[in-house]
Amino acid sequence: MGAGSVRARYLVYFQYLGTDFNGVAAVRGAQHAIGVQNYLEEAAERLNSVVPVKFTISSRTDAGVHALSNAAHLDVQRRSGRPPFSPEVLTQALNTHLRHPAIRVLQAFRVPSHFHARHAATSRTYLYRLATGCHRPDQLPVFERNRCWALRADCLDVAAMREAAQHLLGTHDFRAFQSAGSPATSPVRTLRRASVSPDPASSPFVLPEESRRLRFWSLEFESQSFLYRQVRRMTSVLVAVGLGALMPAQVKMILESQDPLGRHQSRVAPAHGLFLKAVLYEGFESTAQRSHVTRHAARSGQP
């Protein structure tokens, strides 16, 4: 490191379709599977940093899970005498060198050297998309495949699902909804929001003659952090309520059982219906996330 060399830390927001990846985390070694992080760090090699650029990912997502907006921090140290990249130039450079079309860097911010993308997050929101009225796989538009969970049922009891979701709100021991392999030291989490709503725009990819049969639904969950596969397990239980296989009060019993191996809570909703929608930080908010929050507030009537 030459004299005058400056290390700059950035918060970067990025999005991806998860279908082609073995999750967001980098896959090291000679395996054929590859993560979103592998492509991001490959693009960052072209920044000619004095030290290799490593992305510290805010929120890990499994294979097949998508992100409207994930986040990471990274350090870039340019050679002596060269000023740090502006956030705008960094964003443009990463996008220029990304070699996978299903990944896009949304925005970057310069942050203090002690900032940590995972620990500093104040809120994470996940969106799960459902489709009803799809009795055969070929009845789902090709543009929606791998982007929602297609249910054979013609309808869902949304009122019952909303009632059941109320039992999940607040601070609880969520180990009944935790999959094995979680690195979390405590199963206690605070669920701030759990909503079930029809997609007001349905899907732009549904033909008019199909629109009466196919309907789309959105489940959203917000917390500072989640346990491993907690959202997909909660979704599976709420879908069971919507299909009449569970009563809303039974969700409270499942939660209080703290048993992850029960008949209903051990089922995991498919990965391809899940989207990481937003990761929020105090003082930093991407323009993409701001538009998502605004749309949600408009739909719910919140200020």
d(CA 76, CA 30): 26
Q: Which of 28, 113, 121 is nearest to 72 (CA)?
A: 121
**Whether 24 contacts 70, CB under 8 Å:** yes
- For residues 6 and 77, the answer to whether their CB atoms sit within 8 Å is yes
The one catalytic residue among 20, 62, 157, 259: 62
Q: Is 126 annotated as a binding residue?
A: yes
Which of 255, 236, 246 minimizes the C-alpha distance to 174?
255
Task: Assign 266 to helix, strand or coil.
Answer: coil
Rounded to 10 deg, the angle between the 36-44 and 87-97 helix axes is 110
Measure the CA–CA gap between 235 and 237, rounded to whole angstroms. Answer: 5
Judge whether 62 counts as a catalytic residue: yes
What per-residue string of b and e applies to 150-176 under the rule 16 or more CB within 10 Å gives b?
A: bbeeeebeeebbbbbbebbeeebebbb
The type of residue at 107 is: Q
Annotation: binding site: 126
Residues labelled catalytic: 62
- Binding residues for substrate are 126
